[in-house]
Amino acid sequence: MNTLKNFKIPESLPKDSPQELWNLQRQLDKYAQSIFGPRNSKKKLLAPEFNADAAEGPHVSNTIDLDGGYASLSTVASTSWYATVYELAHETIHLLDPRPAPPFAKGSNWFEEGIAVEFALHCTEIVFGERPAINSPTYETAWNLTKKIVEAKFFNDCKNIRLECGHFADANFHVIKKHAPKCDSRVIIELIKRFDNTPIQNV
């Protein structure tokens, strides 16, 4: 059952509502797992935080030991539940199995980012009754590419790809083609590319 439908927007701002924010995170996590399969049991899900720097966008932060992660949300989201739901839903997809981003590791691919955008749109619509516009051309490109995988069973096929490959970012050409045979090969090649091409540091 999707308990996200029952989430009531608090009267206080997100930055002043740590318990409600944590409850939202847990509901989003539960919903994401019901759609895409279980979260990595070796990684702890921690409570979201808001960035102190207004120039810093939403992202996943990992623990020092890489045994857990949490959503770092924008300063805009700190005063807007609408932005909070959208950003937190997006980061929840990455939190199913959080990994360091470049330059420390390869990070996500276009496939994972497209799924995160669609899940954010979907969850925002559940809570607020409308799908917001995608305000980033880069993320809109990821969303458009990913949505070409299937016509009707988008979430289910994405789940099967994740379960077979172990991680959205590890999806390969053959597995995507197996679950989405009608998807153009040129699209799949783009989907499995790294989303952030920042050079990876040698450790």
Which tens digits make up the pLDDT trace of 178-200? 999 999 999 999 999 999 989 98
Q: Which two tokens stand for residue 6?
A: 């029952």
Higher-confidence residue of 25 and 201: namely 25
> Is the pLDDT score of 1 beyond 60?
no
> Is the pLDDT score of 41 beyond 90?
yes
Q: Is residue 130 part of a domain?
A: yes
Angstrom distance (rounded) from CA 91 to CA 74: 12
Angstrom distance (rounded) from CA 32 to CA 92: 7
Angstrom distance (rounded) from CA 56 to CA 123: 23
Q: Is residue 199 part of a domain?
A: no
Number of structural domains in the chain: 1
Q: Is residue 198 part of a domain?
A: no
Whole-number pLDDT of residue 119: 97
Q: Is residue 19 part of a domain?
A: yes
Rounded to the nearest angstrom, the gap between the alpha carbon of residue 166 and the centroid of all alpha carbons in its chain is: 16
> Is the pLDDT score of 72 beyond 80?
yes
DSSP 76: T
pLDDT digits (tens, 9 = 90+) for 126-176: 999 999 999 999 999 999 999 998 766 899 999 999 999 999 999 999 999
How much is the pTM? 0.96
> Measured over all CA atoms, what is the biggest interatomic distance in the chain, rounded to whole angstroms?
48
Q: Is residue 108 part of a domain?
A: yes
Domain that holds residue 130: 3-191
Q: Is residue 201 part of a domain?
A: no
Helix, strand, or coil (residue 63): coil
Per-residue burial over 142-153, b = 16 or more CB atoms within 10 Å of its CB, e = otherwise = bbebbebbbeee
Q: Is residue 186 part of a domain?
A: yes
Q: Is residue 200 part of a domain?
A: no
Task: Count CB neighbours of 94 within 10 A.
Answer: 23
Angstrom distance (rounded) from CA 52 to CA 192: 33
